Amino acid sequence: MIPTLEWTEDGVRLLDQTRLPLEETYILASDYQQVADGIRNMIVRGAPAIGVTAAMGVALGVKQSEATDVAALKPEFEHICRVLAATRPTAVNLFWAIERMSKRFSALAAQPGITVETIRTSLIVEARQMYEEDIAACRAMGAHGASLLPNEGGVLTHCNAGALATCGYGTALGVIRGAVEQGHNIQVYADETRPFLQGARLTAWELMHDGIPTTVICDNMAASLMRRGKIKAVVVGADRIAANGDVANKIGTYGVAILAREHGIPFFVAAPWSTIDLETATGEDIPIEERPASEVTHHAGKQLTPNNVGVENPAFDVTPARYVTAIITEKGVLRAPYSESLQELESVVSGD
């Protein structure tokens, strides 16, 4: 399996996704600020991967703290969490992971006589546990979602919701992997995903690595392929799913969902429970990250647009729940009305 991120004694090792597919290089984020930079600069990206990387960043920050007692460690811990939380606003997995580390810290800090050393060790264990849980969740999504995909034919995906966006196996690509493992004969169509090209660079790279037949298309080709009957299903990931089932995902996902509806093609969203945000009522309330204009005006250092032209670069959009055929999670497959099915699953999860 492709090691997207990894805890090491010296820091968090990240596969540099900005250099793929031409170079397979790793960087070592050797303090929590470097971990934050790695997330902000998209060395590591994809909602679940961002979350676990941030948890490891928290553990690394505490490991390197010079605090000798819990009272001194607490404000430092809170500062580390704030720095990591300020990296990217849309993927709720980031905040979920930091919150989980904070709860663990508070529970440990409340134990009478606990040492800073024990807290350090326990936070590393917690972050590594989240890494393992993420891979298990992806595999479970693959098992739950596989039968939803066609036995034969084209499946379109947008952005990269694969092993590279998680700790391994992937969410949307996990469902595709699950179907392929069950013998489905699938041809993946990967939207190139302007402007960062996660589809052309990352999805194509990782699927070819696994020998899964993959064709890259420009974002503006999907409608034509659907019309010609080449796409039998769409499966994408998510950065945040609101309580009513609205889905924030990579910019362009909304357009794909509308096209799928127009052509009578099922549109599936695969996401772990850590991507569900029941505190956020609808997609309207999801913060959408604006990325630098240079991602649109330039490619590989080459200017594409005239000087001073106006540019918009929202990194995500929101697909209204009514376009979503099903949400595939590690706990099972949810159907509309999502405000009810998500709430029902929440009761089960909180009783786990």
Positions that interact with ligand MRU (CB under 6 A)? 45-48, 91, 159, 161, 165-166, 171, 198, 237-239, 249-250, 315
We find the least distance from the C-beta atom of residue 160 to ligand MRU, in angstroms, to be: 6
CB 229 to ligand MRU: min, Å = 25
Query: Three-state SS across the chain?
Result: CCCCEEEECCEEEEECCCCCCCCCCEEEECCHHHHHHHHHCCCCCCHHHHHHHHHHHHHHHHHHCCCCCHHHHHHHHHHHHHHHHCCCCCCHHHHHHHHHHHHHHHHHHCCCCCCHHHHHHHHHHHHHHHHHHHHHHHHHHHHHHHHHCCCEEEEEECCCCCHHHCCCCCCHHHHHHHHHHCCCEEEEEEECCCCCCHHHHHHHHHHHHCCCCEEEECHHHHHHHHHCCCEEEEEECCCEEECCCCEEEECCHHHHHHHHHHCCCCEEEECCHHHEECCCCCHHHCCCCECCCHHHHEECCEECCCCCCCCCCECEEEECHHHCCEEEECCEEECCCHHHHHHHHHHHHHCC
Calculate the CA dihedral of residues 193, 252, 249, 202 and round it to 10 degrees: -10
Dist CA 5 CA 80 (whole Å): 19
Residue 67 vs 288, nearer CB to ligand MRU: 288
Shorter beta-carbon distance to ligand MRU: residue 154 or 237 = 237
Rounded to 5 degrees, φ, ψ at 214 are -135, 135
The residue count of the chain comes to 352
Cβ–Cβ under 8 Å, residues 193 and 158: yes
- SS3 category, 233: strand
239 in catalytic set: yes
- Annotated active-site residue in 134, 191, 239, 246: 239
The residue nearest ligand MRU at its CB is 237
* Residue 234 · residue 268 · CB < 8 Å: yes
Taking the complex as a whole, the smallest distance from the CB of residue 28 to ligand MRU amounts, in Å, to 21
Which of 221, 216, 208 has the alpha carbon at shortest distance from 190?
216
Residues involved in catalysis? 239
